[in-house]
Amino acid sequence: MTHPTAPATLAVGISAADHVLGPDHAALTVVEYGDFECPSCKAAEPAVRQLRAVHGGRLRFVWRHFPLEDAHPHALLAAEAAESAAAQGRFWEMHDLLLERSPRLARAQLEACAASLGLDMARFRADLDDEVYRQRVREHQEGGRRSHLRATPTFFVNGVVQDVSGGYGMLLDAVSRALHR
């Protein structure tokens, strides 16, 4: 007799160090592990924005880095750039720009994004040169591996992985069902 495999669960809980949109007391939490250079992450973004727009204060959305370095040569540096922007209070603006401009995320493009946001460019360049946020990105990757990630984007709805292999409408449906229970 075979036993069905239980769905993967989120191995690392939400903390104050996470990038979060929405209230801490929201009825539902969606965590996305993503890669800024991943075409599927870029394709998922309209569904994520729709989720946030439709469910507003009932939803807490969390982004975590999972750069797939073998497939996406600029993904790690892009994640570090987002963390540098976060240190200057502009994570979500950088997040949106990086996904919008993906896959063109070489160093020059990252600097152009930072400049367009009005970031302190000396600080931004130093952060990237010195790999100030590499460990933070590695911690996200390790949490993703512990949560059994294999690809991006991977979504967790209240801590349980959500299959989106049939399209991002599956995520929208799962969130709506969970909120109406």
Torsion angle defined by CA atoms of residues 163, 72, 67 and 119, in that order, rounded to the nearest 10 degrees: -120
3 in a structural domain: no
pLDDT-derived band at 122, boundaries 50, 70, 90: very high
Instruction: Please indicate, yes or no, if residue 171 is contained in any of the structural domains.
Output: yes
Residue 55 tokens read as 């469910």
Compute the average pLDDT of residues 95-113. 95
CATH number of the CATH domain containing 130? 3.40.30.10
**Mean local confidence (pLDDT), 91-113:** 95
pLDDT in tens, 72-97: 999 999 999 999 999 999 999 999 99
In a domain, 11, yes or no: no
1 in a structural domain: no
- Domain of 93, in residue numbers: 19-179
Number of domains within the chain: 1
- Residue 165, C-beta contacts closer than 8 angstroms, at least 6 positions apart: none
Q: Given pLDDT bands bounded at 50, 70 and 90, which one contains residue 4?
A: low
Assess if residue 107 is contained within a domain.
Answer: yes
Q: What is the mean pLDDT of residues 58-70?
A: 97
12 is a domain residue: no
pLDDT exceeds cutoff 80 at 2: no
The CA distance from 148 to 133, in Å, is 23
Which of the pair, 61 or 1, is modelled with greater confidence? 61
Assess contact for 51 and 171: CB atoms under 8 A: yes
- Neighbouring CB atoms inside 10 A of 10's CB total 22
Q: How far apart are CA 149 and CA 164, in angstroms?
A: 13
In a domain, 6, yes or no: no
118 in any annotated domain = yes
